[in-house]
Amino acid sequence: MAAKVLDYSTALDVLKEYKSRDGLDIHELMDTAKHGGLTYNDFLLLPGYIGFPASAVVLDSPVTKRITLKTPFVSSPMDTVTEHEMAIHMALQGGLGVIHHNCSPEAQADMVRKVKRYENGFIADPVVIDRSTTVGEAKLLKEKWGFGGFPVTESGKLGSKLLGIVTNRDIQFEDDASVPVSEVMVTDLITAQAGVNLQEANKILAKSKKGKLPIVDSDGNLVSMISRSDLNKNQDFPFASKLPDSKQLICAAAIGTRPEDKLRLKGLVEAGLDVVILDSSQGNSMYQIEMIKWCKAEFPGLDVIGGNVVTREQAAGLIAAGADGLRIGMGSGSACITQEVMAVGRPQAAAVYSVSSFAARFGVPCIADGGVQNVGHIVKGLALGASTVMMGGLLAGTTESPGTSFVSREGKLVKAYRGMGSIDAMQDKKAGGGGKDSQKSNAGTARYFSEGDSVLVAQGVSGAVAHRGSINKFVPYLAAGLKHSMQDCGMTSLAELHQSAEDGILRFEIRTASAQLEGNVNMESYEKKLYA
């Protein structure tokens, strides 16, 4: 007997007869007793209803209790991923770059300064020179800081009488490096009086057609400055991660948990650091708990992110110590072999869900760190409760990473990339200034508690990744992909994504090995372009 065909117009009413929605809710999906520990490739999100354009999706998400990013992407503190160039461009794109610490404290602090000086509202501490500074010295300052245009004052310090400004045009074609800047500087200046607000100062600058606008007091002493390049950056990068008061880019950096790292952190804070990440492969240690408490007591205005953790038990101690954020992942990175060598860790999806659901009860945001190979993995990490996603290998191939570019044996352009647990990274002597005891100051050995080991046990590898072009194209591609994925799920914001997952509205499906094969390309030959 044929089944009765129902009236098509009643389809939505008939749907209500089913006891549950199609697929699994997040709690059923992540039941490790039933399914074991899942990773990103083991499941999919089910589609929802599209009632809005992808452009309407909002990606704002917290990275710490106090700081929210416009784009939920963070670059990893690895020495082939994040130095000042990466940190600057990640911040300009609305994300956050975490500067590595496999270098001297002075070098790391210098990188923080470069990030903080890159974009400003009022520049409260401009680089100031005196009239006797030579053209050669001015050119060296331009190379050091990455910008030109230095105010010249009587004493060469802020708060002294303004005499002029030296710009790139004044020194570019001056061949005699010994000429004092007093002979080439611009003295016909347009200034604004101290007390002017930023909006009014920007109007004066725009009308002046000058590159810099010095702010002076009633006696003509320099008190601050604003720059035309910052006006341009505001137009070109509207989602940039900036502090609301100073308009400087937000900067993060990593340190270890050794006593000398306290001195390193003091230098970073003096340079303007906003967020510190305590960098350890296993964050649940007496060293890190003590360091979190010290950081919060010594620098109450500094946000502290602890980790790495993969269990609730690990997370609880760091949360109780005062961590403003957590970093989740152990052994899931593309250049990491911790799970293989140490037999310790956790599949990344299981780790992200377990820790982030626990941390959310205390208002502590979580970073999903590791295992991200594509846009889909980003979506899954966020759907499981992470507020941001940290990437290493995915960003190591970009122009802004410090890795070396070269042509592989296959004739492809690649960039060097290594895990911080690799022998190459742990034997790098930059952090210790090249001395005999460099191993004790190395970020890799510190991260894996190997400072005093006579035999180094690798927990990472060295290799190369495909060149991906500039961050300024690659990150927008990732953000666009994330927005379209959320549109497919019917979610207009990351906050809605998290709440819908918790309420059981967002549904999931486990993928068998055959399903994973089905979801990949099945052709004899093809060209895979990620974006255009």
3-state secondary structure of 288: helix
* Catalytic (active site) residue 103: no
Is 459 marked as binding a ligand? Answer: yes
How far apart are alpha carbons 524 and 504 in whole angstroms?
A: 40
Secondary structure string (H, E, C) spanning 395-429: HHCECCCCCCEEECCCCCEEEEEECCCCHHHHCCC
Is 444 marked as binding a ligand? Answer: no
* CA angle (331 as vertex; 327, 334 as ends), nearest 5: 100
Is 370 marked as binding a ligand? Answer: yes
How far apart are alpha carbons 288 and 254 in whole angstroms?
A: 13
Is 281 marked as binding a ligand? Answer: yes
CA 304 vs CA 96, 257, 276, 301: distances in Å: 14, 12, 5, 10
> What contacts 279, CB < 8 A, 6 or more positions away?
77, 101, 254, 255, 256, 420, 443, 446, 447
Indicate the DSSP class of residue 123: B
How far apart are alpha carbons 402 and 223 in whole angstroms?
A: 36
Is 22 marked as binding a ligand? Answer: no
* Catalytic (active site) residue 468: no
Is 256 marked as binding a ligand? Answer: no
Is 279 marked as binding a ligand? Answer: yes
Is 433 marked as binding a ligand? Answer: no
Of residues 447, 468, 489, 507, which has the active-site annotation?
447
Is 376 marked as binding a ligand? Answer: no
b/e map 153-174, b = 16+ CB within 10 Å: beeeebebebbbbbbeebbeeb
Indicate the DSSP class of residue 364: -
Is 421 marked as binding a ligand? Answer: yes
C-beta of residue 134 within 8 angstroms of C-beta of residue 181: yes
Is 334 marked as binding a ligand? Answer: yes
Is 164 marked as binding a ligand? Answer: no
Is 393 marked as binding a ligand? Answer: yes
Is 258 marked as binding a ligand? Answer: no
Question: Which tokens in the block code for residue 109?
Answer: 């602090």
| Edge-to-edge order in the sheet of strand 129-130 | 129-130, 150-153, 162-166
Residue-by-residue DSSP string for 483-506: HHHHHHHT-SBHHHHHHHHHHT-S
387: alpha, beta or left? (left if phi > 0; alpha if psi -120 to 50): alpha
Of residues 336, 346, 366, 507, which has the active-site annotation?
336
Is 330 marked as binding a ligand? Answer: yes
Q: Which residues are annotated as a binding site for NAD(+)?
A: 279-281, 329-331
Which residues carry out catalysis? 336, 447
Q: Which residues are annotated as a binding site for IMP?
A: 334, 369-371, 392-393, 417-421, 459
Q: Which residues are annotated as a binding site?
A: 279-281, 329-331, 333-334, 336, 369-371, 392-393, 417-421, 459, 514
Q: Which residues are annotated as a binding site for K(+)?
A: 331, 333, 336, 514
